[in-house]
């Protein structure tokens, strides 16, 4: 098994234990079965990965779409330790640190349609930016016949996500998207604005705002692009930086969510490669 396989099995096992000992979760037996099935699938793919390039490709890339249902599950698991959400506390922290609510004041102070559209499309393309850098690193791997850079990147992304997901479970926070009024006026007529809100309306896990996984993963992408492919850094950094700023400007996250996410992303980028090599050994 590759390090990302091991890490994912550990995460699924830990959350499976939490589900097993907390029967108040709706349909908990089905969740347990889903975790067992996922672990068996990971094991099977890890055994078949070396058979041919197609199975290797599937084994390497299966986690990119798999992060989404694992994320959605946190909207159920964050009921384990709390009956409600912790937004009132985070709003007070926000006021103490910034003297107000940046998620409200940023769009009010810079209510430009073109800026808003850029930040909203940067946010909406989050799940495209992750594989975009992955494809660049994978392409380099094909040319060099060495996929280590891609696999370290994927492992670090997985580590970042799983730390954030555990944060969602321990500290359920809805965020400004649910707690504050949406941006109104000319900005709200924008195509990117509508797309980003549609994605959140249909795909967000409620209570999954702190820490911001968007910011955490964005920091990882910036660091890895700079580390492995400067051209990719130059091409992707405007969107990635727009994603980071957009989390607060678009009223999807509190500023403290972003700060926590940035810290996690930075630490994951440092620890991830070291942990990958340790698990590989």
Query: Mind listing the pLDDT tens digit for each residue in 205-230?
Result: 889 999 999 999 999 999 999 999 88
Q: Please report which confidence band the pLDDT of residue 273 belongs to, taking 50, 70 and 90 as the band edges.
A: very high
Amino acid 281: pLDDT: 76
Q: Check whether 140 has a pLDDT greater than 90.
A: no
DSSP class per residue in 172-228: -B--HHHHSPPP-GGGGG-HHHHHHHHHHHHHPPTTB-SS-HHHHHHHHHHHHHHHH
Mean pLDDT of 77-89: 90
Q: What is the pTM of this model?
A: 0.93
Q: Check whether 84 has a pLDDT greater than 70.
A: yes
pLDDT digits (tens, 9 = 90+) for 223-250: 999 999 888 899 899 999 999 999 999 9
Mean pLDDT of 39-62: 86
Amino acid 96: pLDDT: 93
Q: Please report which confidence band the pLDDT of residue 79 belongs to, taking 50, 70 and 90 as the band edges.
A: confident
Q: Please report which confidence band the pLDDT of residue 45 belongs to, taking 50, 70 and 90 as the band edges.
A: confident
DSSP class per residue in the chain: --HHHHHHHHHHHHHHHHHHT-TTSTTHHHHHHHHHHHHHHHHHHHHHTTS-HHHHHHHHHTHHHHHHHHHHHHHHHTTSS-SS--HHHHHHHHHHHHSS-HHHHHHHHT--HHHHHHHHHHHHTHHHHHHHHHHHHHHHHHHHT--HHHHHHHHHHHHHHHHHHHHHHHS-B--HHHHSPPP-GGGGG-HHHHHHHHHHHHHPPTTB-SS-HHHHHHHHHHHHHHHH-HHHHHHHHHHHHHHHHHHHHTTSS-HHHHHHHHHHHHHHHHHHHHHHHHHH-
Amino acid 28: pLDDT: 86
Q: Please report which confidence band the pLDDT of residue 1 belongs to, taking 50, 70 and 90 as the band edges.
A: confident
Q: Please report which confidence band the pLDDT of residue 166 belongs to, taking 50, 70 and 90 as the band edges.
A: very high
Amino acid 23: pLDDT: 67
Mean pLDDT of the chain: 91
């Amino acid at each position: 098994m590759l390090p990302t396989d091991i890490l994912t099995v550990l995460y699924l096992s830990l959350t499976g234990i939490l589900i097993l000992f907390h029967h108040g979760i709706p349909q908990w037996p089905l969740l347990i079965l889903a975790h067992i099935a996922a672990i068996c699938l990971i094991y099977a793919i890890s055994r078949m990965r070396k058979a041919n390039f197609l199975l290797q490709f599937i084994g390497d890339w299966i986690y990119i779409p798999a992060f989404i249902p694992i994320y959605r599950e946190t909207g159920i698991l964050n009921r384990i330790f709390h009956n409600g959400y912790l937004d009132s506390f985070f709003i007070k922290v926000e006021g103490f640190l910034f003297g107000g609510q940046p998620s409200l004041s940023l769009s009010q102070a810079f209510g430009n349609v073109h800026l808003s559209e850029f930040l909203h499309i940067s946010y909406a393309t989050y799940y495209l930016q992750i594989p975009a850098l992955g494809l660049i690193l994978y392409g380099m791997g094909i040319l060099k016949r060495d996929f280590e850079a891609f696999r370290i990147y994927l492992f670090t992304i997985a580590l970042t996500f799983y730390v954030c997901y555990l944060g969602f479970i321990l500290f359920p926070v809805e965020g400004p998207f649910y707690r504050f009024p949406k941006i109104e006026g000319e900005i709200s007529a924008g195509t990117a604005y509508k797309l980003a809100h549609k994605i959140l309306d249909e795909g967000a896990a409620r209570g999954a705002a702190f820490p911001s996984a968007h910011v955490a993963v964005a920091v990882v992408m910036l660091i890895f692009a700079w580390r492995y492919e400067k051209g990719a850094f130059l091409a992707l950094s405007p969107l990635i930086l727009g994603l980071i700023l957009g989390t607060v400007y678009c009223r999807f996250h509190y500023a403290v969510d972003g700060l926590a996410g940035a810290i996690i992303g930075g630490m994951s980028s440092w620890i991830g490669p070291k942990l990958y090599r340790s698990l590989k050994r």
